Amino acid sequence: MLRISKVVIISVLIFTQLAVWAQNNTNSPYTRFGFGELADRSFGAGRAMGGVGIGLRSSKQINPLNPASYSCMDSLTFLFDFGVSGQVSWFDDGNTKQHQMNGNVEYIAMQFPLTRRLAVSIGLLPFSHVGYEFGGTKSEAGLTWAETFTGSGSLSEMYGGISFDIWKKRLAVGANFGFLFGNFSHERNLIFASANADDVQKYRRYDVRDLLMDFGVQYTHPLSREERVTVGVTYSPGQRLNTKLYDIQLVGSGTSSSYTVNDTITNYRYDLPHAFGFGLSYVKDNKLTVAADLKYENWEDCYFDNEKGLFKNRMRIALGGEYIPAYRNRNYFGRINYRAGFHYSNSYLRVGRSEENGYKGHGYNEYGASVGLGLPLIDNRSYVNLSFEYVKIHPEMQTMIDEQYFRFTVNYSFNELWFFKRKVN
C-alpha cells in the first residue's frame, strides 16, 4: 500500500506539470489546417500492435480506446501507466529535403477497482498537435518580400472513465468523461524589402475548453479454458466545441505608421465528428494475442472557422499481435512480450481547396508498421514497454509534401496488488 501511495503522489505531481513539460510533437506543414495532427491515443502494448485497442481486454494494461475494458482487472490490482515518445521526421517537397527531431511527454493514467464488477480509470491524453515553420521569398509587380508561416500548440484531454461488468466477466459496458483543453496558434509574416510598403503580421490563436464523452461495449466469448474471442464497439458523439478565436493583425514597419486590429471571436463554430469503432481480438492466455480495429469518423459534417466542407471523413484500420514464448519460464527472453502491427488511415483534411478542384482539396494517406517489446520486471506483473514505428505519409498530389517518420515510445506500466496483506507463519 505504501508503494501505491507513492505512485499516487508522483502521478498528481506529473499531472500538474505535464502541460509545462510537453513540447511540440510535430513539424508537419499539414498541421496548419484544422485541429492539426490527431494524436495516437493507444498505450503500451496496443501502440506496438498498430494502435489496436477497441477489442482488447487485458488485466495488465490500461486501454482508454474502449472504456468497457477497465473492468477486466481483479479487485486487488492497481495499474499506473506513464509514457514518453520521440520521433525523427523527414520532409520532401520535390525541391528541398529536411529532417527534424521531436520529443514529448505522451500520457499518464491510472486504473483501479471499486468493487469486483466496477473499475475506474483517470488520465491525461494527447488529442492533437500543431507545429510547423516554413516560408520563402516572393516577387511581384516590382515588390520583393519574405513570407513565413509558423504554428504551435496542442490540445489535451483529462479523462475519467468507469466500467461495469454486466454478466459473468463476458459482457461489460463503459464510458469516458473528459475535459478537452489547450490552445494552438498560427502566424503569417510578410516582410517587404521596400521602405514604401508596410510589413504585415497576422496572428490567430484558438483556445478550446469543453467536455467530451465516449462509450464502449465489450463481449467476450470463451472458446476453451485458455482461449477466448472479444468483440468491442465504441461510439463518440459529435459536438460543437466551446472555442474562442483571437485574431490579431499588425501592419507597419515603424511605430509611427503601424496599427493593430485585434478581434476576439466567440460565435464561430468548431465541431468534432461522430466516431464509431469496431474491434475484434483472439487471446490464448499468456501466449498469443491477435487483434484488429476499424474506426470511422464523420468529419464531413463538421464546421471549422464557421465554415463547412474543410474536412472529409476519416477511416483507420489496424492489425496487430503479441507473442510470449514461455510466460513462466526462468529464461528471461522467454517471458518477453514480442509485438508487431500495421495500420492505415486517410487524413481528415482538405488541403489546397480551389475553384479548379471544386473546393474538394486534396488529402493524404498514412501507412504505418510497428514492432515492440514488453520487458517484464522482477514481479512479472509490471512492464517497461518499448515500441518502434515507421510511418509514411503519401499525399494525393505529387506537388504536396511527402513525409516519413520514425517514432519510438517508452512507457512504464506499474501493476501492483492493492490492499493485499501477506500472512507470515
**Biggest CA-to-CA distance, the chain:** 93
Domain 2-417 grouped into CATH 3.30.1330.200: no
Q: What is the pLDDT along the chain (425 residues), one digit of tens a residue?
A: 445 455 554 555 455 445 444 455 788 899 999 999 999 889 888 999 999 999 999 888 899 999 999 999 877 789 999 999 999 999 887 777 888 888 888 899 999 999 889 999 999 999 999 999 888 787 776 777 788 999 999 999 999 999 999 988 899 999 999 999 999 999 988 887 776 677 888 899 999 999 999 999 999 999 999 999 999 999 999 999 999 999 888 887 654 456 566 778 888 999 999 999 999 999 999 899 999 999 999 999 999 999 998 999 999 999 999 999 988 888 889 899 999 999 999 999 998 777 777 677 888 999 999 999 999 988 778 899 999 999 999 998 878 889 999 999 999 988 887 655 555 44
Return the SS3 of 31.
Answer: helix
What is the residue whose three cell numbers read 509490471?
382
* Cα angle, residue 123 at apex, residues 121 and 128 outer, rounded to 5°: 135
Give the 3-state secondary structure of residue 299. Answer: helix
Enter the pTM of the model: 0.88
List the domain boundaries for the chain.
Answer: 2-417
- Written as nine digits, the cell of 323 is 507473442
User: How many whole angstroms from its chain centre is CA 91?
Assistant: 21
